[in-house]
Structure 1
Amino acid sequence: MPKISTQDNHLTVLNLFTTDVPENQDRLIEEMTKIVNAATYEGWMSSTVHAGVDKPGTANFIQWRSGEDLEKRYAGDEFNHRTLPVFGEITTSIKLLQNEVAFTQEHPSLGGTIEISPKRDDYTCIAVFPVAKENQEELIDALGPAQEYFLQSPGFRSHVVLRGLAARGLEGSFAVSYSQWESKEAFEAHRDIPQDQKPEARVKAEGRIRAVVTGIPDINTYRVVHTRSAGE
């Protein structure tokens, strides 16, 4: 079962695919699962496939030993002549995001470990925030350490902030928020709390985020449907 930690020095790749109909989401999951189950790439560590809930699409949370290993994969014939053409037929957008884990916090019940697996039944929200390079660290701090109030939200499980390093399909700098909740209802209750009921720390953090983002965040919710690690 893959784990997320700031202590790991590997590369975290988040591949986000959108599509226009649920049927194509099913095809995306099928094709991604085939790739994950056959993966033997040098430096590949794990892949975890997520199915979109609010909007059709998928997310693949991938851990690589290094950027050099990933670039070998991107340069290969299979990736360029089969993988990309197949996904290009059934998607409306493709974002391949390279990241490092910048911040994590988890509910005490998790015992200090953040895991991603279909066995955990997490309701997951992934949000990509565009930001100017010079403001990226301010955004990461506002998304991460400034949001300790998450721990007081009923149903909260974990929160991870990824520092964007490079991307295909997305221009400019970015940061990613990846959060796990015990249910859709718990997440939506946290998301939709009236402004006058928000704790002061949340109001300040959200104000800091709005001050530095350069566009509308790309947000979707997901359920994990498949995972596999090297050696399995």
Structure 2
Amino acid sequence: MRILLIEDDETTAAYIAKGLREEGHVVDHAANGRDGLFLAMGEPFDIIVTDRMLPGPDGLSIIRALRMAKITTPILVLTALGEVEKRVEGLEAGADDYLAKPFAFAELRARIRALARRPAGPPAEQSVLTLGDLRMDLLTRVATRGARKLDLMPTEWRLLEYLLRHAGQVVTRTMLLEKVWDFSFDPTTNVVDVHVSRLRRKLDLPGEPPMIRTVRGAGYALQAPEA
């Protein structure tokens, strides 16, 4: 992956960059907010890791500017400010994750890997997903089937969103475990089947075939009722 590291402390920056490069990543380093924002705006990166307290624009200002510019690159914030309200402030600014200093490199590596697996945020024109009379508004977090509002738990929401983004395609249990649960579980677990069964009960209408079709030996496929 190509990673942008925005960190003004030379020792910390060298430590992080060395570890990431040993993992096989390409690391671009900016030592201040101005250079970091310039790189982030002008170059494609897979992940951005930024300190919160920086000379020039601080980390939160950089994040807000990137999100205003519709740049959806996953962003991990590093900071010595570990209080809950500070973490919330960072996440509300548009950060995807928050890691308080001091930290172990193993945790930083794990968080970067998790961000890399996470689906990118939807562009504005794809903020609403539809299939037949099924509708998900990703901005208002409201899902409906016809005139009926669906009461979805967070995991059910992520599961349905992933299925909608791949409507008509067969997705395997392993794909769902990695993309919805963000971890590589033992493939023998029945967690996917349990959640699919619950989601079916909320989606399906009496007398109609299920929208989530089981493909024996392969996985699941979401399809419109008339398909």
* Structure-1-length-normalised TM-score: 0.27
Give 1 or 2: higher strand fraction: 1
Higher-Rg member (1/2): 2
* Structure-2-length-normalised TM-score: 0.28
